[in-house]
Chain A
Amino acid sequence: MIKLKNVSYKVMDKETGKEKYIVKDLSLDFPKNKFTIITGHNGSGKSTLIKLIMGVIQTTSGEILLGEKKINSLSVDERANLGITIAFQQPVKFKGLTVRDLLNLASKSTTNIPDACEFLAKVGLCAKDYVDRELDDRLSGGELKRIELAIALAKGGDVLLFDEPEAGIDLWSFDSLVDIFKKLKNKTIIIVSHQKKLIDSADYILLLDSTNDAIIGKKKEMLPLLNSPKCRKLGGLIND
């Protein structure tokens, strides 16, 4: 569904003054309508990869395809309108815009309380307490994160990208978070995560490391690899 062909992304390293590859010559295929987890140690380029797919940052070289369509040169909104959706690791705050405003923009409709309830309830929030709240500093990190997920669910699409959706979500809400992804049928879901429970729910696992030896495979083939000494050295997994 989402295919990368020899994708590279490099930046200027401020300390050394030299160019540095964050992603180098990466080719892979995210299977259609499957749930893929991207995991790997810090700095291996996981977030960079999904930002490249969304178009938030631009590839230095290589191609990204959605089905058969090259999307490299498309803007973020053009990609969004083709059905790619992202929930960021760090939710963005807005002075003045409310949860309802964002849900309306995401779903391209006017959100009434029952509609908002549907999306906010999925992430464990009560709609009437939140729809008219502004997305500003008065919301906690965990609340903002849940709202970020609700907005992504309200927008929908065929390809859903989530960057560490578990970050900031308390552990006792975690199981219901996993359920959200399990219930998303006929979608290509790509999630950056280290959480074992999320990994256990996945169909495919993409393991990245900083040498960009990316390996993608079915979960049962990949799990032994994640438990290998090399992977443990890279940071391993968080079990619960």
Chain B
Amino acid sequence: MTRLTQIDKDLLKQVADMHSVPQGSFNIRKNGQSVDRKSDDEVTILPKKDKRGIDIIIKEGVKNKSVHIPVIITVGDFSDLVYNDFYVGKGAEVFIVAGCGIHNPSDKKSEHDGIHTFHLEENCKVKYIEKHLGIGNNQGEKILNPTTEIYMKNGSEFEMETIQLGGVSYSDRKTKAYLDDDTKLIIKEKILTSEKQVAKTVFNVILKGKNSSVEVISRSVAKDNSKQKFVSNIKGENECFGHVECDGIILDKAQIESIPKIVAKNINATLIHEAAIGKIAGDQIVKLQTLGLSEEEAQAQIIKGFLK
């Protein structure tokens, strides 16, 4: 990673836990260009021919493989739309790390729109982590609009962790999933907003197959004057299970809106939505104060734990 500056390395560390060149296949995209890539027979990364982005092809049956495809942006007045398609072969087990960090030193906006599509063949297992971060004290907005589409064939499992670490001026994340028989989808989302930031997140999950299940756990913290909106729409079309849990902490003058929708189209569909929004419970702050923490320290620890 000789072409990377210290800022690049810091961003990569934060959004993709990359401390050095990662094991396995990877693609690092900086300011709209692929700056480093490694690919092998089992996990092949190919640039798209018709549009911007890459195809990641994971061979049938591979185990314990990891793929890192982080994106960093270090300039202002820049917009990047990219399509990444993952083809995960039958029975493969893979760990995928994406994520985008923007360091915008300018007064003009920087934007990254990443469209990630996952095609899961039968009985494969994917763990996918994406982190988003914005840095830069100038006026330039840091905008991130990630879209994730997941097509799950029989017996496949997908676990996704999506984390917005802070500093992102505006985000509009869309997640869509289509589940066949005996599939399992777990989505854990954590979002932190402050100042005047806005974060929207929309989940659309269609449980088409028998014994398909989805669990969405969303935890968000909104500070200052920031606003968050959470929309989930789970459709159960077969004997299936769906559970959505949305917990929000608001501080200062922030707002969180949660819109649940569950639609059961089959008598054996079990769908649950739980949502709770509120300030930090006073007794939690007092408990940590009894351990010697100031009110501010207590609040910070509670938020840190909540978003861990």
Contacts and interface: CB of A to CB of B under 8 A. Distances in A.
A111 to B, nearest CB: 13
Given A101-B305, A105-B301, A94 B291 contact: no
B307 A80 contact: no
A121 interface: no
Contacts of A138: none
Interface in A65-104: 75-77, 80-81, 85-86, 88, 92, 94-98, 101-102
B290 A86 contact: yes
B298 to A, nearest CB: 8
A54 interface: yes
Contacts of A56: 286, 290
Interface of A: 54, 56, 75-77, 80-81, 85-86, 88, 92, 94-98, 101-102, 105-106, 108, 151, 155
A155 B291 contact: yes
A106 B304 CA distance: 16
B302 A97 contact: yes
Contacts of A80: 289-292
A95 to B, nearest CB: 6
A105 B286 contact: no
Interface in B123-143: none
Interface of B: 219, 247, 281, 283-284, 286-295, 298, 301-302, 304-308
Contacts of B291: 80, 102, 105-106, 151, 155
Nearest to A79: B290
Given A77-B294, A81-B292, A92 B287 contact: yes
B289 A97 contact: no
Contacts, number: 61
Contact of B301 (A54, A77, A97): A97
Contact of A95 (B289, B294, B306): B306
A233 to B, nearest CB: 34
A92 B293 contact: no
Of A56, A77, A97, A155, which is in contact with the most chain B CB atoms at under 10 Å from its CB?
Answer: A77
30 contacts: A54-B290, A75-B289, A75-B294, A75-B295, A76-B286, A77-B294, A77-B298, A80-B292, A86-B290, A92-B281, A92-B284, A92-B286, A94-B284, A95-B247, A95-B306, A96-B304, A96-B305, A96-B306, A96-B307, A97-B301, A97-B302, A101-B301, A101-B305, A105-B291, A105-B301, A108-B292, A151-B291, A155-B290, A155-B291, A155-B292
Nearest to B190: A96
B287 A77 contact: no
Nearest to A75: B289
A75 B293 CA distance: 11
A126 to B, nearest CB: 23
B219 A96 contact: yes
A106 B291 CA distance: 5
Given A76-B289, A95-B247, A106-B291, 13 more contacts: A75-B289, A75-B295, A76-B286, A77-B292, A77-B298, A80-B289, A80-B291, A92-B283, A94-B284, A95-B306, A97-B306, A98-B305, A151-B291
Contacts of A76: 286, 289-290
Contacts of B286: 56, 76, 92
A101 B219 CA distance: 19
Nearest to B288: A105
